[in-house]
């Protein structure tokens, strides 16, 4: 994956799991991410570049084991790419600012778009609306 940050910089400031997810398109184990059950109001940001990606207003419990959202925070916040790994075609989601792998998009969401952005907690940070967590 191409990044605007050096590998050594990223390895110094990200955990091994955050690096694997965002730079090597790994997936955290389901039901283990620290943001899965977060219900606070605020903004989910890219762990690599801090860009706003998803609002808590679009987060919902999909039962999939990963934080799920119906829409990105802005139309151009997340890019989508065809992912043919694992012998199937899926839609990968990446941060449009830095290219970090976030997760995948599926056409089974409850919102108007019908999409479910299934995102790794390890790819996100959270800024609570009230300044706390």
Asked if 99 and 4 touch (Cβ cutoff 8 Å), the reply is yes
What's the confidence (pLDDT) of residue 42?
97
pLDDT tens digits along 85-133: 767 778 999 999 999 999 999 999 998 889 999 999 999 999 998 655 4
What tokens does 26 get? Answer: 């790994």
What's the confidence (pLDDT) of residue 56?
97
Flag whether pLDDT at 34 surpasses 90: yes
The answer to whether residue 49 is catalytic is no
- What proportions of the chain, in percent to the nearest 5, are helix, strand and coil? 20, 30, 50
Options 3.60.10.10, 2.170.150.20, 2.20.130.10, 2.70.70.10; CATH of 7-128:
2.170.150.20
Which pTM value belongs to this model? 0.91
pLDDT tens digits along 52-77: 999 999 999 999 999 999 999 999 99
Flag whether pLDDT at 32 surpasses 50: yes
Where would I find the beta strands (DSSP E) of 64-115?
68-69, 78-83, 90-95, 101-106
Flag whether pLDDT at 82 surpasses 90: no
């Amino acid at each position: 994956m191409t990044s605007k940050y050096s590998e050594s910089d990223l390895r110094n400031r990200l955990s091994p799991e955050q690096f694997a997810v965002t730079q090597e398109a790994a997936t955290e184990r389901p039901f283990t991410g620290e943001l899965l059950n977060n219900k606070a109001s605020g903004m989910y940001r890219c762990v690599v570049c801090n860009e706003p990606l998803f609002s808590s207003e679009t987060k919902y419990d999909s039962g999939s084991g990963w934080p799920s959202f119906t829409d990105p925070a802005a139309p151009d916040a997340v890019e989508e790419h065809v992912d043919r790994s694992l012998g199937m075609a899926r839609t990968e989601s990446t941060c449009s600012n830095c290219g970090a792998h976030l997760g995948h998009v599926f056409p089974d969401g409850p919102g108007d778009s019908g999409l479910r952005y299934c995102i790794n907690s390890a790819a996100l940070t959270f800024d609570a609306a009230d300044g706390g967590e």
